[in-house]
Amino acid sequence: MTFPKELLTDDEEAVLDLTPHWWFIAPASVYLAVALVFGLYIWLGGGDNAAWKALGFLEGIAILIAVAYFVMRYAKWKTTNFVVTNERLISRSGVVAKKGVEIPLDRINTVFFNQSFFERIIGAGDLGIESAGEAGRETFSDIRKPNAVQHEIYRQKEAFERRRTTHMGQTFAAHTPQAPAQAAAPSIPEQIEHLDRLRRAGTLTEEEFQAKKSELLRRM
């Protein structure tokens, strides 16, 4: 069962959406197969005496238990999701009673995996997450290709940190007051007019006025 998209935020995208590895239901499948084979042997090859009937009755109960166990494990397998998004890591499980864990990518410190030799052959393993949250460390079992999942988590964590850094830089720039533009320098005719007013007011002599005026005219 895929993870419901309505549980994601507006800008969130699921990168990995995994159910547990098939090894999760393998023991229940083997138990059910053995119970069925043994039951067929008893019912087809048994006698009519009381001992065989009692054994057949017990085998019937064993088959019912095996079926119930298989159904429960299969339902849990179908309703368990291990999801990696571009913002967080999500684990949800449970048919009636639900259990969930969410770890933001920026709080993840270390991701490690553990595989036995047999698990390496079938592509399964355990994944451990060390984070800055209250739990500190979470372990997820029967993860498909845990080394590839580890790599993807680190890749999404780096991408998330780049996006956050870029967003913070843009926000800082948007709220930083810009320096006021410098007023344009007065034109040369305006400067000559200003000097003339100073000459008429007696602040500049005629000689000083003519010298400044000649200097400004040479710049034109």
pLDDT in tens, 164-187: 888 766 666 666 666 555 556 677
DSSP code string of 53-69: HHHHHHHHHHHHHHHHH
Which CATH architecture does the domain made up of 5-164 adopt? Roll (2.30)
Question: Does pTM top 0.85 for this prediction?
Answer: no
pLDDT tens-digit map of 70-123: 999 999 999 999 999 999 999 988 877 778 889 999 899 999 999 999 999 999
Question: pLDDT tens for residues 33-50?
Answer: 999 998 888 877 766 677
| Alpha helices (H) in 18-145, listed in sequence order | 26-45, 50-78, 117-122
User: Percentage of the chain surpassing pLDDT 70?
Assistant: 85
Task: Provide CB contacts within 8 A for 109, sequence distance 6+.
Answer: 130, 131, 132
Task: Return residue ranges of the chain for CATH 2.30.29.30.
Answer: 5-164
The three-class DSSP label of residue 101 is strand
Above 80 in pLDDT, residue 58?
Answer: yes
Length of the chain: 220
| 197-208: pLDDT as tens digits | 777 777 767 777
- The token duo for 166 is 């870029």
